[in-house]
Structure 1
Amino acid sequence: MTEDSTTLTLDARLELGGGRFVDLPVRFGYRRGAPFAVVVEFPGLARAASAWEFCRDLLRKGLHRPAGIGDVRVAPPCRCHGRRELRITLRADDGTAVIDVPVEPVRRWLHDQVFTLVPRGGEAELIDWGVELVRLAGGGPGRC
């Protein structure tokens, strides 16, 4: 972790279907320079599937209740179904990946590091809105 970023590396489980899982390393990253987003990376996977960027509040909300309506969905542990992990579902044109990660390390990382680095409500102060407007108008590279 630097003063402008933080990471969390965990062992996750990728669902293969039929109740089968495979262990998979996962790395969560957060940068002060992109204050609204977290990045989830899968070291060792093909480059096209190795990183996903989504709203840090989606991850926070998913700790407490199902969250997300698009390509990324996050669901809290579901004791009634015997699942104790945080579930992250990633959808792409070529398929869907369901990853279970330990919930407590993610909760602590968000609280102790991510929201300490940039408190909720302080994100917009860190955005260079001129650069973002040029990017949105097609004049520069996007982050997504």
Structure 2
Amino acid sequence: MHLLPPYRHHPEHHHQPGDSTWLDLDAGLTIGNARPFGLPLRFGYDTADPFALILDLRAPTGTVTVWRLSRDLVWEGLQQPTGLGDVRIWPPCPCHNRPDLRITLRGRQSTALLDIPAQPVRRWLATRAFALVPQGAEADLIDWDTELNRLLPGPA
């Protein structure tokens, strides 16, 4: 899983903690060598965790699997192949008539391949997620003193 730590909001930033936006889509899911099937999913962005996107995968059984992905990684994946390790992303490929964003998620027991409509994701990131926090301004939302105090040991 490609996890990012939760950050504390910087108190002087003009966005309210928890400003968020969501995008619900239907995607194709392939696990291992099985046949692909449809799966509802939800992308989320919350300014309380400014570097991350939330990806909720809703299985037919009702189980929800949550992945946290780098927002910049998904944006870059709309332009060119990117990612390492557990998360890899490929942009749409017109030469193969594939209009979808393709994301591979590698878990402990299996690998999932998602085919997600690229245009709604691109539009949502550009007009909603980047409207909440412009690209490159994510660090402005973090209370660095609080984060540093969390990482350092207390007085001896």
Q: Which amino acid in 1 is paired with 2:137? A: G
1:142 alignment counterpart: none
Aligned counterpart in structure 1 of residue 77 of structure 2, from 62, 65, 77: 62
2:42 alignment counterpart: 27
Name which of structure 1's ranges 93-102 and 16-25 shifts more when overlaid on structure 2: 16-25
Instruction: Please say if 1:90 is aligned against 2:105.
Output: yes
Q: Which amino acid in 2 is paired with 1:23? A: G
1:122 alignment counterpart: 137
Instruction: Please say if 1:73 is aligned against 2:88.
Output: yes
Aligned counterpart in structure 1 of residue 67 of structure 2, from 24, 33, 52: 52
* TM-score, scaled to structure 1: 0.84
Q: Which has the higher contact order (CA 8 A, sep 6+)?
A: 2
Separation in 2, partners of 1:25, 1:90: 16
Deviations for 1:20-65, whole angstroms, at most 9, x for unmatched residues?
Answer: 2100001000001111000100134535xx1000110000000010
Separation in 1, partners of 2:142, 2:44: 18
Measured after TM superposition, the shift of residue 69 of structure 1 is 0.9
1:108 alignment counterpart: 123
Measured after TM superposition, the shift of residue 80 of structure 1 is 2.9
Contact 1:12 1:26 in 2 (8 A): yes
Unmatched segments (≥5 aa) in structure 1: 140-144
Q: Identity over aligned residues, as a percent?
A: 51
Unmatched segments (≥5 aa) in structure 2: 1-15
Deviations for 1:113-139, whole angstroms, at most 9, x for unmatched residues?
Answer: 000100011110101223333444589
* TM-score, scaled to structure 2: 0.78
Q: Residue 136 of structure 2: SS of its match in structure 1?
A: coil
Contact 2:32 2:111 in 1 (8 A): no
Q: 1:67 to 1:7 in 2, by over 3 A?
A: same
